[in-house]
Amino acid sequence: MNKKIAVIGAGNVGASCAMYLAEANFADVVMLDIIDGVPQGKALDLTQAGPVRGYNCMVTGTTKYKDIKGADIVIMTAGFPRKPGMSREDLIAKNAEIVGIAAKNIKKFAPKAFVIVVSNPLDLMTYHMQKVTGFPKNRVVGQAGVLDSIRMRAFIAMELGVAMSDTNAMVLGGHGDTMVPLPRYTTVAGVPITELMPKDRIKAISERTKGGGGEIVKLLKTGSAYYAPAAAAVDMCKAIFNDEKKVLPASAFLSGQYGIKDIYIGVPVVLGAKGVEKILELKLTKSELKALQGSAATYKKLIKVVK
C-alpha cells in the first residue's frame, strides 16, 4: 500500500503543497476543502500533469474527512489568509475554529498521523492542533522557522550572489514580528555570514526576514505567500518519510528548554521518522535568549484567545 499524505485546504498553499508532493513522488495525495469542486478539480489537473512531470502517485480531491482515513502525514493549510495591514495574530479567532474542526476529524480518521501545521498564526494553531487531537507532542509540529529560514537563505544568496543551496540560516522564535534571526548560526558553505558581509547588511537582511511574509502580502494585495510556505512544509514531510534526522528550526512544544515551557515556539529540532525526535539547545547570548523568551511570552499571552 502506498504512503498517503492528506492536505487540508485546497487554496494556494494547499494546492502548491499537493503539486510539490506529487513531484516528489513518494506518496499518494488527497486534498480536502469545504468548497465542492475545488479540490477535485485541482487534483484532476495535477494528475493529468503526471505523464510529463514524471510522477506516478495518485492525487485526489474531496470534501469529506473520511477520505483522509489512514493518512501517514496531514498538512494543515486551511484558514483565512492575511490581508494588507493584518498581522498573523489578527487571524486567531477565525482560524482557531477551522483548525479545531480539522483536528477533531484528523483524530477520528487519521489517528496515527503526523501533523504539520501551516495555518496562521502558526505557533498558536500548532498548539491548538495538539491540544484538540491529543496526539503526542512529537507528532504535531509547526512549519514556522523552516519558512523563515529559507526566506533568509534566499536574501543572503541574493545579497552575495551565491548559490541558494550553499546557504543555511537559523531563525528561532514565533512565526511573526517577534521572530529571532541568528546571524551567528547562519552560514554560506560553512562560513558564518558575519565574515562575509558588514553588520548593516546583516541587520537589513534580518529585518527583511522578519517582514518576509508581510512584504509579499503588500505586493499581492489580495492574499499571502504560498510557494515558499508549501515548499517548507513538503521539506518537513520528506524529513519524516525518509527518516532524514534533519536539523530544522520548527515550531515545537517546549517543556523547559531555553527557559520556556508549555508553548509551541520555533527552535532547532531533529526531524525524522518519529517526528520531532530531539530539540537542540543552542548556546545563545543574553540578548538572543532574551529575544527568544520575549517572543514566547508574546504567544503565551495569546493562548487564552485560542482557548
CATH number, domain of 25, equals 3.40.50.720
CA angle 124, 176, 129 (to 5 degrees): 15
User: 223 pLDDT exceeds 90?
Assistant: no
- Clarify whether residues 158 and 231 are in a common domain: yes
Mean pLDDT of 232-246: 97
pTM of the shown model: 0.95
- Clarify whether residues 68 and 117 are in a common domain: yes
- What range does the domain containing 60 cover? 4-144
- Clarify whether residues 223 and 300 are in a common domain: yes
Q: Which amino acid is at 53?
A: R
Quick one: pLDDT at residue 82? 67
What pLDDT band is residue 256 in, cutting at 50, 70 and 90?
very high
- Clarify whether residues 284 and 196 are in a common domain: yes
Where among 123, 144, 165 does a domain terminate?
Answer: 144
- Clarify whether residues 296 and 208 are in a common domain: yes
- Clarify whether residues 104 and 162 are in a common domain: no
153 CB-near residues (< 8 Å, 6+ apart): 164, 167, 168, 169
| Residue 305 three-state SS | helix
What pLDDT band is residue 198 in, cutting at 50, 70 and 90?
very high
Where among 119, 144, 169 does a domain terminate?
Answer: 144
What pLDDT band is residue 302 in, cutting at 50, 70 and 90?
confident
What is the total count of domains within the chain?
Answer: 2
- Clarify whether residues 159 and 97 are in a common domain: no
Query: What span, in angstroms and rounded, lies between the C-alpha atoms of 180 and 5?
Result: 31
User: 147 pLDDT exceeds 80?
Assistant: yes
- pLDDT tens, residue by residue, 81-137: 767 776 666 778 889 999 999 999 999 999 999 999 999 999 999 999 999 999 999
Sheet holding 191-192, edge to edge: 167-168, 187-188, 191-192
Rg, the chain, Cα only: 18
Does residue 175 have an active-site annotation? yes
- Give the whole-number percent of the chain exceeding pLDDT 90: 86
What pLDDT band is residue 22 in, cutting at 50, 70 and 90?
very high
What pLDDT band is residue 183 in, cutting at 50, 70 and 90?
very high
- Clarify whether residues 22 and 116 are in a common domain: yes
Mean pLDDT of 279-284: 97
Q: How many CB atoms lie within 10 A of CB 242?
A: 13
What pLDDT band is residue 222 in, cutting at 50, 70 and 90?
confident
- Clarify whether residues 153 and 296 are in a common domain: yes
| Residue 253 three-state SS | strand
Taking a C-beta distance cutoff of 8 angstroms, is the pair 250, 146 a contact?
A: yes
User: 1 pLDDT exceeds 80?
Assistant: no
Mean pLDDT of 50-57: 95
Where among 115, 144, 173 does a domain terminate?
Answer: 144
The single residue of 128, 139, 175, 210 carrying the catalytic annotation is 175
Q: How many CB atoms lie within 10 A of CB 173?
A: 30
C-alpha cell at 208: 527583511
- Clarify whether residues 87 and 186 are in a common domain: no
Mean pLDDT of the chain: 94
Quick one: pLDDT at residue 129? 98
Query: What span, in angstroms and rounded, lies between the C-alpha atoms of 32 and 54?
Result: 24
- Clarify whether residues 195 and 270 are in a common domain: yes
- Residue 161's domain is classified under what CATH number? 3.90.110.10
Distances (CA, A) of 256 to 261, 263, 279: 5, 10, 11
More confident residue, 306 or 19: 19
- Clarify whether residues 170 and 104 are in a common domain: no
